[in-house]
Each structure stands twice: as C-alpha cells, then as structure tokens.
Amino acid sequence: MAKNVPEVIMSKVNLIGETTNINGDLSTDDDLRIDGIVNGNIKSNKRIIIGTTATINGNISANTVEINGTVKGNIEASEILILKETAILEGDITVTKLSIYTGARFNGKCSMNDLSN
C-alpha cells in the first residue's frame, strides 16, 4: 500500500557561481546564493547566502543574511544575520537577531531592532 507523502515545495534559489563577477546592483524576490564577486548592492525579500569564495563590495538587505565569505558594506537583516566561522564583515549592521560563530571577523557598528514592535 502506498503512503500519502506530501509534496515537497522547493523555494526558488538564484545562484551566482564562483567564476562570476558582477558589477551592478542585484534584486530578487527569491533566495540568493553568491559564490562569486559582486560590486554593487544586493536586495532580496527572502534569504541571501554569501559563500566562502564570495567577495561583496556593497550593501546587503534581506530577511535573512548568512555570510561565509567577505563583505565590505552595510547589512540590514529584518530577521537574522548569521556570521559563520569564515565570515569577514567590514560595515555597519542593522538586525533583529545576530549569530556570530567563533572565528568570524566583524568590524563595524551594530544596531538591534526592537523586538517588541
């Protein structure tokens, strides 16, 4: 007898590969993973993941931002900013929640959003 297995819905993910170099701003309504180089601002209405091979020179705005690579710019994360062990961040951040793993480097100012609103 076959079991009723619910259909898994995958969210759309945009991928910028590690051999890709973009000069200009990026904007998407879906998740975005960057493993290459971006010289420009990045905005997503969902999640942005900066891979270990990525270098970003620009500001980032998203619900969730996870950094594994290098970012030189300001970050605004309406839900959470995650700085993994290999993260290098030079810029100011505005976040609701912040997670910094041992080994991550962060130089800048931090402003925490009020959770009571």
pLDDT in tens, 58-93: 999 999 999 999 999 999 999 999 999 999 999 999
Quick one: pLDDT band at residue 52, thresholds 50, 70, 90?
very high
**Domain count for the chain:** 1
Question: How far is Cα of residue 36 from the mean position of the Cα atoms in its chain?
Answer: 13
Q: Note whether residue 102 is domain-resident.
A: yes
In a domain, 9, yes or no: no
- Residue length, the chain? 117
- Residue 3 included in any domain: no
Residue 64 lies in a domain: yes
| Whole-prediction pTM | 0.87
Domain membership of residue 29 (yes or no) is yes
Work out the burial of residue 19: count CB atoms within 10 Å of its CB; fewer than 13 is exposed, 13-18 middle, 19 or more buried.
exposed
Domain that holds residue 94: 14-107
Residue 51 lies in a domain: yes
Burial per residue of 83-98, b for 16 or more beta-carbon CB atoms within 10 angstroms, e otherwise: bbebbbbebebbbeee
Environment class of residue 100 by beta-carbon count within 10 Å: exposed (0-12), middle (13-18) or buried (19+)?
middle
